[in-house]
Chain A
């Protein structure tokens, strides 16, 4: 203290500044380590793995989409030729794309309706609730091959469901019904998953809101429309975004049940990609088709990010 007092004022000031600077430096180093370096050290293994199995192959995919690669051997750079062919010459791609859009519309309507309806009913069930939830969720964990095979037999016009209504045509064998028949089989597996998500979201809604609605004289439909649906809106919208993206990836059910037939009626983009890559030996063109799926997914995500920035509760 005595020494401090003996020091000139400007020296005292400089010393304090130096100390503060040292403290700041230490704090900055600490912050740098704790918030910037250490987390990245933890992330490096998974980032390395991600780069190796996702980023590098994806970049290769981008490159091959500009080549005439057959899937083996050397690839020749052909610029935008694949994209030109895809959008302006290849009618099968345009048809496949329109089927994916139909699939998306179906998936946005039917499973969502089933799931919202099912979740609303189950939310009120107290006894045996777990049994119903498990039973309805069960199809989702079954492998697609099992579910698809079950539905192949269910659709059989000789002994399946059509016989119950006296219908003697094969739903999977007609070009105007096959896509919807597959979509319904897929819906059977998927809607239970959606329902469980919605049910979980519904449980987070404040019960006071329902009490208030009852006091206001709301009926079940008004309760659902004005309380339940706004309460689970973020989950519904998020799942809509996911369903829109997944709709462009559909492959397994179509491949198992019809392989894209009959007469190309169920040929979606993924089936077209498979044929081009592995049967027509046009892997470069298939990569370009894959890029468009990526593009559609990015557009959907961007749309949702935009809406979120505009204040939507997503």
Chain B
């Protein structure tokens, strides 16, 4: 009888211990999702392998396909999804925060000193009504890459003003080349890149700031001029040599032609810094060409200006079982050492942190120069705004969707901007404008 009781007690004790262990492991497990791509699997592996705390288990679930954010949104709505949530940027995170699906990160920001680690504008991007809900990732801007070999062969200089850029475009076409790529046959939202740049570089960052904060309408003559200038260069065949090719060619086709020297420049994002060298120039591209970059000129200054943006944002789900552990993972993820290592190893753009010393010592010198110039421009106030980071969602869809109708002469520039103003006013009234860092 005693033996029987002992056996029963032992089984019970073992079960309790196993259950406790399971619960404990569950509590200390932090899940996040990543795109199942080369870059995604690379940084995911790096994070899991190098995360220093043994008491927290990090699990990165690689999700196939391009609908990572949509899938995660559905999962979050259903009370599931990862502990650390990912989205395309501030306007998307704003929706999640407004729906009560994100946890406030204010006390973690104090605890880990994120205020001193992030670029001030970048941390502000994650605030909703003064509270921090997300952390910005992937520092981005749009620049003009150029085929350096072709430029040297033709004796072309880097333009510093818009007038010089127009003269350069004429020279490129006289040489029988296409002025610039890429083409957006595969990516409808990508039309926003040029619009963002023209608002800042043509109308000016101050005016854009005023419009984003509701102090100036989008129908202002400065914006009409900017969008008219953009429309003119598109209709003039700067992109891909013709509007039909601009509308239909793929990125791969455009980048290959750029690498081969048939297209002189590429008006692209900084996410291509790694790809050009890896896939399209030199031996991988089957050519002997080299590339470099310069800041898109402005109509008002010879100093380099940049539109700033972030490619994605991270936050902690309201339903995360152990938010402290999730915050610890975020803290490690946003360390300068992890960002530098991830950038060097996986090629993803670094987060907008304040990097000290030579953390990007192993980076390509062209890339290092970009971060240096970008930092200087930011400090001098020579920065503008990318639509995917600073425009509210509906206004942003209008911005990239309707601009193609402007290019195709179905919609006038005035009507385009009036429509943008209409959408903006509604979202402004509903409090859906992402935080705009004060200038």
Contact = CB atoms under 8 A, between A and B. Distances in A.
A175 B409 CA distance: 11
Contact of B245 (A173, A280, A281): A173
Given A72-B101, A263-B408, A173 B244 contact: yes
A279 B397 contact: yes
A281 B394 contact: yes
Interface stretch (B41-49, B91-99, B204-212): B91-99
Contacts of A74: 99
Most buried by A among B248, B393, B407: B248
A263 B405 contact: yes
Interface residues of B, number: 35
Interface residues of A, number: 32
A275 B397 contact: yes
Interface string A253-279: 000011111111100000000010011
Interface string B233-258: 00000000011111111100100000
Contact of A173 (B73, B96, B243, B410): B243
Contacts of B243: 173
A258 B404 contact: no
A74 B99 CA distance: 7
Interface string A156-191: 110000000000011111110010000000000000
Contact of A264 (B100, B242, B246, B404): B404
B408 A175 contact: yes
A264 B408 CA distance: 10
Contact of B407 (A72, A172, A259, A263): A263
Contacts of A262: 244, 247-248, 404, 408
Contacts of B401: 260, 264, 275
Contact of B188 (A73, A152, A170, A261): A261
Contacts of B76: 72
B29 to A, nearest CB: 24
B415 interface: no
A279 B95 CA distance: 11
B404 A73 contact: no
B245 A157 contact: yes
Interface in A221-264: 257-264
Contacts of A260: 188, 401
Interface in B40-94: 70, 73, 76-77
A175 B408 CA distance: 8
Nearest to B91: A281
B31 to A, nearest CB: 19
Contacts of A175: 408, 410
Contacts of B188: 259-261
B185 A258 contact: yes
Contacts of B185: 152, 172-173, 257-258
A165 B70 CA distance: 43
Given A172-B185, A258-B185, A280 B246 contact: no
Given A170-B248, A258-B247, A259-B188, 11 more contacts: A70-B95, A71-B95, A74-B99, A170-B244, A172-B247, A173-B242, A173-B243, A257-B185, A263-B247, A278-B73, A279-B189
Interface of A: 70-74, 152, 155-157, 169-175, 178, 257-265, 275, 278-282
8 contacts: A70-B95, A156-B253, A257-B185, A258-B248, A264-B404, A278-B70, A279-B397, A280-B394
